Amino acid sequence: MNGKVYPSEDPGKYKSFIPLIDAYNEAKLKQIKEYDPEFYAKCVEIIPTAEELDASPISFMKYNKKLLSPMDFEIVTNYSMQELVAKQISKELTALSIINAYIKSAIISHLITNCAMQFLIPEALAKANYLDKFLSKNNGEVIGPLHGVPISIKEHMNYAGKQTCGSYVGCLDNIPRESAINIKILDKLGANFHIRTSQPQSLMWLDTANNIIGRTRNPLSTRMSPGGSSGGEGACVASHGSCIGFGGDIGGSIRVPAAFTNLFGFRPTTRIFSSLNNLGGGKGQETIIVSQGPLARSIEEIDFFMESFVNKGIPSNYDPSCLPLPWRTPVELPKKIKIGCLFDDNLVTPFPAISRGMKLVVEKLAENFELVDLKNYWYSESEMESIYTNAIACFTSDGNQTQYDMFEKSGEPILPLTSHYFQFGDNAGKPLSVYDVRMLAYERDNLRLDLYKKFFGRVEDGSLGLDFILAPSYVGPSETPGNSLYWGYTVLWNYVDFPSCVFPTGLFHETTTDVLPFSNGGPKLKNNQYEKMVWYGHNEDKINYDPKNYVGGPIALQLISRRFADEEVLEGVKKIVDILNIPRS
């Protein structure tokens, strides 16, 4: 329990929704059982129980290899989305063979990670048959650039005719008539949807659990968190349950799951994708706007997805909020790329693994790029405390009333990380005045300009003239469940709306190496409330960090640039991962 009673909570009312929750989960189980009873029975026989998965650091990979046929394993493991489309054109594969392989892999993924809110198996099989007939009738011409590509989608995006609850118990009876704009566009481009993935209660965690399906696990180590709020997407894509995933990011919700599951995750500048027809508790909140984007196993697939969606899907034709800008390709970067390296945001000290990862990556990049340590240029601790507090106050400026409205129908219990989110900002869950909200937007605009002038402007105007900033994507490697408390390394870029892409470094947490640096003359912890929250938790006398908790956690970083330099960000990541020699995960 969260130790606090919220106005929306009503145990008696919630009890009446238990049959709806049970029916929702039974329908999902029925669908995967009926798809292939023999395959399902084999999965249940081999895959550990939920209790075993929660207690031990189990990886998905050996189960994929055991349970999938050699051909299905090859399809879900070895072929990028571009290769899947090419192999359909060459008649080496069909859309039906591809989707069957991914349905089976998604079932394994769900049984290991609990990543599915809903399966779309009959619809996916029907779409595959349609695509195969289209290809045959049109002499090998595809319906669109994503022809037959299995894509997972975050469940809170409306899907016509299907329950769409956004993990709100009270919305289990919600069946939208119209799909989200982005879903419509992806469908027209040939994407095949077979699974809708989990998100946390309130959609405002960097972890994933809700009162409908419970906790989603990290496929690299099931004892760990997959991140959030697109945690189901991260879990599904990382365990090869889909070729590419589509999520949303308002404070780190694409990038943190990508970081925790060793994927690439891109948060584009806002207004590239539509945000219409998505279910959530952030109605009318415009100080920080949500951005949709992809999670994938390679940067090339991220780039291909973006070019396909923007240039072929043309979202501005469907949503007047979207900007009519093309995806620029090819993109030329300066011969000598200049990167600012932010080792520490001056508010919360990264865990040892992240500091080690930053140092090693910077050393590898030094020969190819002009690198600048931002330590002497970045904002002070007090400035960062004010910036972060302002940023997260944007989310709770209505006193959480729009969230309470979503929870009131069912009276569902408020989970601990929702309670944590409800306390964001100095307002501590109380509504701000119109004046205060306007001041948050004013401070945001000033910060955006200051960041640009200080770091990305022209050198002759006194700027550092950076092309990119390289920074941690989270304070640590993949987090333990329920402890993803600090959003600062990601939400800053949402606040000022700068595009950023998370990428794997090929490095992982090492228990014997990534120990506390403070006992041997290392950096001292800061004295602000957020540093204490992360490092001490509820114990003010003892640091709450134990290297054994993060065994095998991937070390991810992010690359950031100015607004609308989205193509440059992806091109910069391509160059970095080429130097680091990062393979497709």
- Is 250 annotated to bind a ligand? Reply is yes
Output the pLDDT for position 259. 99
For residues 46-70, give the mean pLDDT: 96
CATH class of domain segment(s) 338-580: alpha beta
Percent of the chain with pLDDT over 90: 95
Structure tokens at 252: 């780190």
- Is 411 annotated to bind a ligand? Reply is no
Above 60 in pLDDT, residue 2? no
For residues 344-370, give the mean pLDDT: 98
Above 70 in pLDDT, residue 549? yes
Rounded to whole angstroms, the Cα distance separating 51 from 58 reads: 12
Average pLDDT, the chain: 97
* Residue 253 appears among annotated catalytic residues: yes
* Residue 430 appears among annotated catalytic residues: no
Chain centroid, CA 162 distance in Å: 23
Catalytic residue among 221, 229, 239, 478: 229
pLDDT tens-digit readout, 150-173: 999 999 999 999 999 999 999 999
For residues 238-257, give the mean pLDDT: 99
- Span 22-317: which CATH code? 3.90.1300.10
- Is 203 annotated to bind a ligand? Reply is yes
274 pLDDT tier (thresholds 50, 70, 90): very high
Is the Cβ–Cβ distance between 497 and 528 less than 8 Å? no
- Is 229 annotated to bind a ligand? Reply is yes
pLDDT tens-digit readout, 95-115: 999 999 999 999 999 999 999
For helices 18-35 and 37-46, the axis angle rounded to 10 degrees is 110
pLDDT tens-digit readout, 292-314: 999 999 999 999 999 999 999 99
Output the pLDDT for position 539. 72
pLDDT tens-digit readout, 378-431: 999 999 999 999 999 999 999 999 999 999 999 999 999 999 999 999 887 799
Q: How many CA atoms lie within 13 A of 547 on its CB side?
A: 13
For residues 500-514, give the mean pLDDT: 98
Q: Which of 144-158, 301-315, 490-504, 517-531 has the lowest mean pLDDT?
A: 517-531
Above 90 in pLDDT, residue 5? no
- Is 572 annotated to bind a ligand? Reply is no
Output the pLDDT for position 3. 59
* Residue 229 appears among annotated catalytic residues: yes
Other CB atoms within a 10 A radius of the CB of residue 174 amount to 14
Q: List C-alpha distances in Å: 539 to 190, 302, 534, 536, 545.
A: 52, 41, 11, 5, 11
Output the pLDDT for position 521. 58
For residues 246-272, give the mean pLDDT: 99
15 pLDDT tier (thresholds 50, 70, 90): very high
Rounded to whole angstroms, the Cα distance separating 276 from 414 reads: 26
Q: Which strands, in side-by-side order, build the sheet including 291-296?
A: 116-119, 192-197, 150-154, 244-249, 291-296, 264-267, 500-508, 554-560, 468-472, 338-341, 370-373
Other CB atoms within a 10 A radius of the CB of residue 353 amount to 24
Rounded to whole angstroms, the Cα distance separating 86 from 114 reads: 32
Above 80 in pLDDT, residue 13? yes
- Is 561 annotated to bind a ligand? Reply is no
Above 90 in pLDDT, residue 116? yes
Output the pLDDT for position 1. 44
Output the pLDDT for position 427. 81
Q: Report DSSP letters for 87-110, one per residue.
A: HHHTTSS-HHHHHHHHHHHHHHHH
Q: How far apart are the first and last CA of the chain?
A: 37
pTM of the model: 0.98
Q: In which element (H, E) is residue 118 found? A: strand 116-119
Catalytic residue among 152, 198, 253, 484: 253
Domains 22-317 and 338-580 share a fold: yes
For residues 537-542, give the mean pLDDT: 76
Percent of the chain with pLDDT over 70: 98
**Residue carrying structure tokens 């440059």:** 568
User: What are the sequence ranges of the domains in the chain?
Assistant: 22-317, 338-580
For residues 371-375, give the mean pLDDT: 99
Output the pLDDT for position 491. 99
For residues 61-73, give the mean pLDDT: 97
Catalytic residue among 104, 127, 154, 574: 154
For helices 566-580 and 352-365, the axis angle rounded to 10 degrees is 90
523 pLDDT tier (thresholds 50, 70, 90): low
For residues 3-31, give the mean pLDDT: 95
Output the pLDDT for position 426. 87
For residues 284-298, give the mean pLDDT: 97
